[in-house]
């Protein structure tokens, strides 16, 4: 016997589920193109380019299409972009080049005691960004 049958009452409690409001979707914040390009450059500068052995030489077979690893393809694209940025950095003056390298952790010291690191870095970033905006390979990052 149930409690409702013994007391002569019927249970009238009906629970309904209250729907929660959907959380607001986070707005997409486009990453800074300068930072993306500099990250590609730093990874290019840290690559091991001393291994020029036969491992890098791969013979293409006559078989069917080979599977492409998307992570490896993205890494290779980033390395190519890093090479492009490296050419731009090499075209800067020595102070600007040194400031960019120090800001990204590639070099540690500041060799120019008569120049302010912060001012030179600001000028170097402006000049490098101007060059990156004009380059064919990197201008799409800024659009």
Q: What angle do CA 84, 87, 92 make, to 5 degrees?
A: 135
> pLDDT (tens digit, 9 = 90+) per residue, 86-122?
999 999 999 999 999 999 999 888 889 999 999 999 9
Domain annotation covers residue 3: no
Domain annotation covers residue 66: no
Give 24's pLDDT tier (boundaries 50, 70, 90): confident
Query: How far are the Cα atoms of 27, 90, 105, 120, 127 from residue 111, in angstroms, in the given order?
Result: 43, 17, 15, 12, 20
Cβ atoms 125, 35 nearer than 8 A = no
**The model scores a pTM over 0.75:** no
Domain annotation covers residue 92: yes
* CA 136 to mean position of chain CA atoms: 20
Domain annotation covers residue 106: yes
Query: Total structural domains in the chain?
Result: 1
- What is the predicted pLDDT for the residue at 58? 58
Domain annotation covers residue 25: no
Domain annotation covers residue 117: yes
Domain annotation covers residue 142: yes
Reply yes or no on whether the pLDDT at 55 is more than 90.
no
What is the residue range of 138's domain? 31-44+76-143
Cβ atoms 75, 114 nearer than 8 A = no
Domain annotation covers residue 85: yes
Nearest C-alpha neighbor of 141 from the set 16, 40, 3, 14 = 40
Instruction: Write the CB contacts of 138 (distance below 8 Å, at least 6 apart in sequence).
Output: 37, 81, 84, 85, 88, 132
d(CA 131, CA 143): 14
Q: 68: which DSSP letter?
A: -
Task: Give the dihedral of Cα atoms 45, 50, 54, 55; nearest 10 deg.
Answer: -50
């Amino acid at each position: 016997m149930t409690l409702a049958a013994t007391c002569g009452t019927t249970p009238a409690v009906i629970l309904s589920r209250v729907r929660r409001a959907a959380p607001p979707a986070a707005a997409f914040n486009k990453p800074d193109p300068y930072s993306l390009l500099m990250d590609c450059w730093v990874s290019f500068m840290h690559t091991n380019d001393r291994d020029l052995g036969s491992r890098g030489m791969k013979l293409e077979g006559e078989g069917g299409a080979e599977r492409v690893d998307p992570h490896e393809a993205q890494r290779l694209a980033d390395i190519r972009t890093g090479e492009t940025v490296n050419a731009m950095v090499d075209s800067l003056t020595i102070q600007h080049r040194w400031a960019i390298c120090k800001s990204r952790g590639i070099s540690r010291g500041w060799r120019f005691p008569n120049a302010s690191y912060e001012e030179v870095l600001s000028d170097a970033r402006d000049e490098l960004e101007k060059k990156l905006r004009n380059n064919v390979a990197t201008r799409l990052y800024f659009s």
